[in-house]
Amino acid sequence: MDAKNRYQVIVIGGGHAGCEAAHAAARLGARTLLLTQNLDTVGQMSCNPAIGGLGKGHLVREIDALGGIMGKVADRGAIQFRLLNRRKGPAVRGPRGQMDRVMYKREMRSLLEGTGNLFMRQAEALSLVMEGSEVRGVLSDWGDVLEADAVVLTTGTFLSGLVHIGERQFAAGRLGCRASYPMAESLKSLGLTMYRMKTGTPARLDGRTIHWQRLTEQPGDEEPYPFSFLTGKVSCEQVPCHITYTTPATRQIIRDNLHRAPLYSGQIQGIGPRYCPSIEDKVVRFADKEVHQIFLEPEGRHTHEIYPNGLSTSLPIDVQWAFLRSIEGLEDVLLLRPGYAIEYDMIDPRQLSSDLALKGFRGLYFAGQINGTTGYEEAAGQGMVAGLNAGLYVLGRSSILFDRSQSYLGVMVDDLVTKGVDEPYRLFTSRAEFRLLLRADNADERLTPIGRELGLVDDQRWQVYLDKISSIERAKEVLAQSRVLVDGLLPNGEGGYRRLAMDLLRRQDVDLDSLLARVGLSDLSEPVRTALEVEVHYAGYLDRQDSEVERFRRAEEVKIPDGVNWEAVHGLSTEVRQKLQRVGPGTIGQAYRIPGVTPAAITAILFHIGYS
């Protein structure tokens, strides 16, 4: 084989999952190829021009803490920063940023091109090259066989992609890109269980034709909260978004045209996302609601293109014109691109192990929408896990598995491989049992040492992490040893006596700035200050969750041997046997999380494997 066609890892697809997977494998030292239909769309934001949010922002911080790239690129490409739930508890605060779509893509391409061991090529992957159950490479539309020991499939919505705009439908991976039918057939030939999913996107609008003065402006935060732990103070000029609302006329136009909506005419067979429904779906499901909030989000600093968040649709173009112009501020709006729905093939993720490798095969990994998820961040997180493990596999190293007590990466992957999906999966903080421990602010404390051990975390990131930990410990030591006058620190006017600074910090009503100043800690960075405040204020709750984590990990330590004959396990119902056979749990903890597996079934399994 010509050396130019020989790699260790091939990543198919240049979306968010593919970028993260290729970077991770290459950083480990594996010779990696990122194979994509079009190099100009590497890092493309196919739908909304935003990164982060509740749960999603936690994922971005975790990817960054491990040495990934989405957070760094987002900070470079952002035009507005907002920390969601800022006034709520630390576990549910989620960083979110509006992106300049062009800048984000440019920065992603630049970062990937600067990564050692990483090569890129524009070609379509037609099929996998297999030798029995082992992957040997990929056949491209150049006619080449690209050889590799591991392949990561991150095909997004391209597998048998079918776009719907009203009654019109045509094959595409997304608008303007061709669908991948050969690779879909290649996967089906392996005997995989596959389903159809559906997602959609709104029309894009010409901002010069919007009556902005009638709308409510939504500015960014005065003190931006970055995604990457390496980003210092954010100083870019922020661009505002705006808020508008649909009207009763909007609702009526949509209702009058539901018979032309592919979602309701029977034209679309795939399952759509519950948490990001189309506007026609909202009108039907929330029939008593007269108006719906819409966010008008700029697509970048140097374009007038606007993304109307909340107006995803597959209605015919003439209906899109009509309902958009019935919305406040959009009475004279011009459409630049139509909204559309897209159906695509995905695999049942319960066919994957926790390292996102395909069970029963060697060297095949899957990440992103092909696993039934929705969202850039979920895709990037899976890309990180799959790319890491593909790289470790070809280098002869053990897989890295993330558990639910350790990260949202672990929560997401475990949900997918244990429970499967019946709709496009979206990550929420509520999916985590230990969310007070899995905060956005402490992702580095949880994961950067792991990234360092793997070889992903470079010296600069490691030093930033060490400096933060050192500052936290120094501050705790000062607070534990300093006694200060309470005068002016408490709102009720208490005074005339001294208290230990650490005890005062535990009070929610203390003037924190003044307290830190009195003990010489005014110079604490915001990350250190946040970590200190959370650790002290929530000490009791954190201790309780630590105890719960210990119980969780004890269940995870009880391994279930490979190849268990579930038919031979006495006391199981047929339904439970089928579920255990489909998932193939590796631990008692994972078996317990399979829907329908009862405590009695767990007892039967423990007896069968001889655990006492």
pLDDT range class, residue 342, cuts 50, 70, 90: very high
Quick one: three-class SS letters along 189-242?
Answer: CCCCCEEEEEEEECCEEEHHHCCHHHCEEECCCCCCCCCCCCCCCCCCCCCCEE
What mean pLDDT comes out for the span 101-125? 97
pLDDT range class, residue 532, cuts 50, 70, 90: confident
Given this model, what pLDDT does residue 542 score? 87
What is the total residue count of the chain? 612
Given this model, what pLDDT does residue 592 score? 84
Nearest to 371, CA basis, from 313, 340, 433, 414: 414
Residue 1 has pLDDT above 80, yes or no: no
Burial of 367 (0-12, 13-18, 19+ CB in 10 A): buried
| Cα 167 to Cα 116: distance, rounded to the nearest angstrom | 47
Given this model, what pLDDT does residue 612 score? 60
Residue 497 has pLDDT above 90, yes or no: no
Enter the tokens of residue 154: 């991150």
Given this model, what pLDDT does residue 164 score? 96
Bridge partners, residue 80, by sequence: 98
What mean pLDDT comes out for the span 480-496? 86
Residue 500 phi/psi, 5-degree rounding, is -65, 135
Separation of CA 115 from chain center: 22
Kindly report, residue by residue over 420-444, the tens digit of the pLDDT: 998 999 999 989 989 899 999 999 9
Bridge partners, residue 164, by sequence: 169, 341
pTM of structure = 0.93
Minimum mean pLDDT among 109-123, 227-241, 597-611: which range? 597-611
Quick one: three-class SS letters along 101-135?
Answer: HHHHHHHHHHHHHCCCCEEEEECCEEEEEEECCEE
pLDDT range class, residue 534, cuts 50, 70, 90: confident
In the three-class reduction of DSSP (H, G, I as helix; E, B as strand; rest coil), residue 147 is classed as strand
Given this model, what pLDDT does residue 212 score? 98
Residue 98 has pLDDT above 70, yes or no: yes
DSSP assignments along 371-408, one per residue: GTB-SHHHHHHHHHHHHHHHHHHHTT-------TTT-H
Given this model, what pLDDT does residue 563 score? 86
Kindly report, residue by residue over 299-334, the tens digit of the pLDDT: 999 999 999 999 999 999 999 999 999 999 999 999
Task: State the chain's mean pLDDT as an integer.
Answer: 93
